[in-house]
Structures are given as C-alpha cells and as structure tokens.
Amino acid sequence: MRLADAFAAESKRRPKFIPYVMAGDPNLATTEAVVRALARNGATAIELGIPYGDPLADGPTIAAAGARALAAGVTIEDVLALVARLAPEISASIVLFTYFNPLDRYGLERFARDAAGAGAAAVIVPDIALEESEELREIFARHGIDVPMLVAPSTPPARAAKIAAASSGFLYIVSRLGVTGAASEPDFAPMRRQVAALRAATDLPLALGFGVSRPEHVRAIAADVDAAIVGSAFIDALAGLSGEDAVAATDRFVAELFAHD
C-alpha cells in the first residue's frame, strides 16, 4: 500500500502507529509473524530494517538486533523476498530502513526496481544528506517508491523547509539529537516549535521517532504529529522471543502503548 493511501485510511490509533522491526531478528519466520501481528493491531506503516554492520543512526538496541540478523545470514535479497510475501496480504505500508552503503553496493536502480516489485512503499536512508540525495530520490520516484527524509531538532527552519520539500510519503521528525533508543523523559517542547513551522512548509504527514517508547509519550504527542515511530522499545519487548511468543508480546506491547485509545 502506498503511504498516501495508508495515511488517508481510517485508523484506530491516534497518533498513527509506525513500529520498527529488524528483519531476521531472531529469524525471518518470526519477523514475518510479527509484521502480520503489527498490521492486525492497526499499524499504518511498518519500518523494516535491513541489517547492516555499520548502522550510524542506530542505538545499541537496534544495532544489536541488526548484528543478530547478520549473524543469522540475512541478506538484502532475503528482506525483499519477505516484503514480497507480506505486502500483498497486509493493510500496512512497508517502509524499508537501510543505509547508503549497502544500497550503493546492491545498485540504486536495481534496488529501487526490486523493492517496487516486492511491494515496498518507501525507503528511509538516514545517512544521506539533502544535498547528496537528489539522484537517489529521482531513481526511487521513477519506481513509485517514497523517500521520507529526516529533520533533526538542530535543523534550522529554512533548511527544514527544504528537507520537507524534498521528502515524500511523510516527514520523519527526530525528537532528539543522537542515535535511536528508548528515552525515559524525552523533552517534546522543541519538537512542538518545529512542528508549527513545518506545518506551514509542507502538507506531508509528520512522524516523530527516536525516543518514543511509553504510553505517556504517545499521549503527549498525539495532538502534535500524525504518527509515532517506535523502534527500540518494541525490539526490547521482543528480546529473546520467537514464533508465537513474539506474536503474543507484540499484541501486549501495542495494547499497552495505545491504552488511551
């Protein structure tokens, strides 16, 4: 499903829910079952991480998940095959999360073609700067793949507006400086000031990630942004689990995260 359609669809979640899952941690069969459970639990989109050995934006939880997936031998081809199985059968959009180096090695044109053929809706590449992203964005656009860009708390307003103009699908707002990871007491005040400016600059949905991990965080941002991106806290909730145990933990995590709905 295209992101525009996913965000336009009615949702039982407020804000809309975008969880992050590392493909192949602990195995691909568990990832497939968990993604299906997330879609059943009302996820608007699902970020599916492609494991990579030098994940600059990832905190320790997601980096460790990627290392486990790499140790299990998971490849880009495996992840794309997983997307091809899932995309026709779930209601959520699938957003691939990767880095420029593995994309470059695979080939941008080839990856865009294969991702589109598998049914992916978008690709997030957190380590590519706006000035270096034009070719990548053009290639993916030709294949109907959105490229959500990231805006940091330190991004000046004029530059944030340029990033918003280059983004497609949604705009990824980073709640804090640094890497991903659950935060006990995130400060959302800077985000609120930034959101007010971004609403004037773009009609894209705004999604907030990095540190969103608790029900009170979701409640706190519900009136400000269109979607909450939750990664490290969800991966922690699945630690050591596989198969039906991981599915049951997924159901519990989402129910608790959105207990206010």
**Which active-site residues does the annotation give?**
47, 58
Beta pairing, strands 93-97 & 171-174 = unpaired
Contact between 254 and 17 under an 8 Å Cβ cutoff? The reply is yes
Query: What DSSP designation does 177 have?
Result: S
Q: Which amino acid is at 65?
A: A
Residue pointed to by tokens 């009302």: 42
Q: How far apart are CA 150 and CA 122, in angstroms?
A: 13
